């Protein structure tokens, strides 16, 4: 701990553990890229799971009575005004697709 300039405290111990690699080296330049690659893949997997949840919520909303009414009003408003109106559940699908795309890119990304 003396090398990092931190005193002996629980917070300093946490920081040292956080900066350490799996082999116990503090600020190991050889191990940090491996930790980065693993963290990138973990974030990608989390984004894929979140995309699945958001997509499922969009599906549930589209199948509900309020979702069907919203889709009907959006369709009617498009015919009346000529402007494109989009039902709310469509944005769930768009968001899920964007999250899934970013997640796939992060998981497939090589070192």
Number of domains in the chain: 2
Q: Quick one: 63 and 44 in the same domain?
A: yes
DSSP assigned state of 20: B
Q: Whole domain around residue 85: which residue ranges?
A: 32-108
* C-alpha gyration radius of the chain: 23
Query: Is residue 46 domain-shared with residue 21, that is, in the same domain?
Result: no
> Is the same domain home to 24 and 43?
no
Same domain, 49 and 20: no
User: What pLDDT is attached to residue 8?
Assistant: 60
Q: Judge if 77 and 23 occupy the same domain.
A: no
Neighbours of 67 (CB within 10 A): 19
What pLDDT is recorded for position 48? 95
Q: What is the pLDDT of residues 51-88, one digit of tens each?
A: 999 999 999 988 888 778 877 877 777 777 777 777 78
Residues 15 and 58 in one domain: no
């Amino acid at each position: 701990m003396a090398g990092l300039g931190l005193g002996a405290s629980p917070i300093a111990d946490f920081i040292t553990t956080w900066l350490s690699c799996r082999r116990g080296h503090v600020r190991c330049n050889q191990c940090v890229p491996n930790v980065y690659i693993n963290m990138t893949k973990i974030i990608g997997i989390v984004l894929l799971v979140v995309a699945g949840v958001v997509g499922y919520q969009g599906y549930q909303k589209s199948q509900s009575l309020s979702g069907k009414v919203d889709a009907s009003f959006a369709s009617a408003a498009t015919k009346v005004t000529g402007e494109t109106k989009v039902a709310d559940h469509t944005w769930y699908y768009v968001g899920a697709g964007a999250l899934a795309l970013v997640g796939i890119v992060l998981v497939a990304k090589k070192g």
